[in-house]
């Protein structure tokens, strides 16, 4: 089993145009994320993009890139396509890092890698954290997750779930890990109604009976850049 980190990096975005090329402290967002990704202990690091502008920047950092102009519904489909083109083994584990997730928690990725090393029945995993911020609870940019007693996800939503929480809820952090075999299955499934309604790609796994194990971390200081407000906050902090 090899660990491969892949960063899907589409140039265009709905809410903030060309956001990966936006500059924070003298570097583009994709540069910040790539620099942090080099600190992960893995067998390969690849940025998969549809833009020559992005791959040119990343190649200058001496990081591998994969350019494809093919249209995909989401980053998971883009990664699955790369895995198929590169003939990665079914047992290989792919870490999917969001290209706009500044200061993502490296310790969370280490926990995910340890999970796959210790349990060969795991096919898909992601990261969650406890959240007590009521504004986040109603914020559609903050994805909420409900889990069962074994830390398997039951559902992800942009809406406030569970209803009427008391002290805290669980929010999702945009880091995924999957065996290549699970990605092959993913591309064979049609987009589910839930995936389309929530605009959450991971729901395709759940709607087709593939469980997602949730790895809990205590604290998350990463910033996901989805809007001008996020960009302004990041420029203050970095």
37-75 pLDDT per residue, tens: 999 999 999 999 999 999 999 999 999 999 988 889 999
- Residue 219: what pLDDT? 74
The mean pLDDT value for 196-210 works out to 97
Res. 221 pLDDT band, cuts 50 70 90: confident
What's the rounded Cα separation, in Å, for the pair 230 and 24? Answer: 11
pLDDT at 209 over 90: yes
- Residue 220: what pLDDT? 73
User: Among 12-21, 33-42, 68-77, where is mean pLDDT lowest?
Assistant: 12-21
- Residue 17: what pLDDT? 83
Res. 139 pLDDT band, cuts 50 70 90: very high
Task: Name the packing angle between helices 29-37 and 52-60 (round to 10°).
Answer: 50
Distance in Å from the first CA to the final CA of the chain: 36
Give me the long-range contacts of 60-65 (CB less than 8 A, separation at least 24): 61/31, 61/34, 61/35, 63/34, 63/37, 63/38
- Residue 188: what pLDDT? 96
Q: Which residues contact 42 (CB under 8 A, 6 or more apart)?
A: 3, 4, 5, 95
Cβ neighbours of 70 (radius 10 Å)? 8
The mean pLDDT value for 129-149 works out to 94
- Residue 132: what pLDDT? 93
Q: What is the pTM assigned to this prediction?
A: 0.91
- Residue 218: what pLDDT? 87
What's the rounded Cα separation, in Å, for the pair 143 and 157? Answer: 6
Nearest in space to 86 (alpha carbons), one of 42, 44, 52: 44
Domains along the chain with CATH numbers: 3-237 (3.90.550.10)
What's the rounded Cα separation, in Å, for the pair 100 and 66? Answer: 18
Res. 24 pLDDT band, cuts 50 70 90: very high
Q: What is the DSSP letter of 142?
A: S
What's the rounded Cα separation, in Å, for the pair 4 and 178? Answer: 10
In angstroms, how far is CA 137 from the centroid of its own chain?
20
């Amino acid at each position: 089993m090899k660990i491969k980190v892949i960063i899907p990096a589409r140039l265009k975005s709905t809410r903030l145009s060309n956001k990966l090329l936006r500059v924070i402290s003298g570097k583009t967002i994709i540069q910040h994320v790539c620099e942090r990704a080099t600190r992960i202990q893995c067998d390969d690091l690849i940025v998969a993009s549809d833009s020559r502008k992005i791959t040119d920047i990343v190649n200058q950092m001496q990081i591998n890139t994969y350019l494809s102009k093919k249209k995909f519904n989401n980053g998971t489909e883009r990664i699955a396509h790369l895995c198929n083109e590169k003939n990665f083994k079914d047992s290989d584990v792919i870490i999917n890092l969001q290209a706009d997730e500044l200061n993502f928690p490296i310790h969370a990725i280490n926990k995910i890698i340890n999970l796959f090393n210790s349990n060969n029945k795991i096919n898909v995993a992601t990261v969650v954290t406890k959240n007590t911020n009521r504004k986040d609870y109603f914020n559609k940019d903050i994805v909420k997750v409900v889990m069962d007693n074994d830390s398997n996800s039951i559902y992800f939503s942009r809406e406030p779930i569970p209803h009427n929480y008391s002290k805290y809820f669980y929010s999702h952090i945009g880091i995924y890990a999957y065996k290549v075999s699970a990605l092959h299955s993913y591309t064979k499934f049609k987009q589910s109604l839930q995936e389309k309604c929530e605009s959450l790609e991971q729901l395709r796994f759940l709607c087709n009976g593939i469980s997602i194990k949730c790895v809990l971390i205590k604290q998350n200081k990463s910033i996901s850049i989805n809007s001008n407000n996020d960009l302004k906050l990041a420029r203050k902090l970095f």
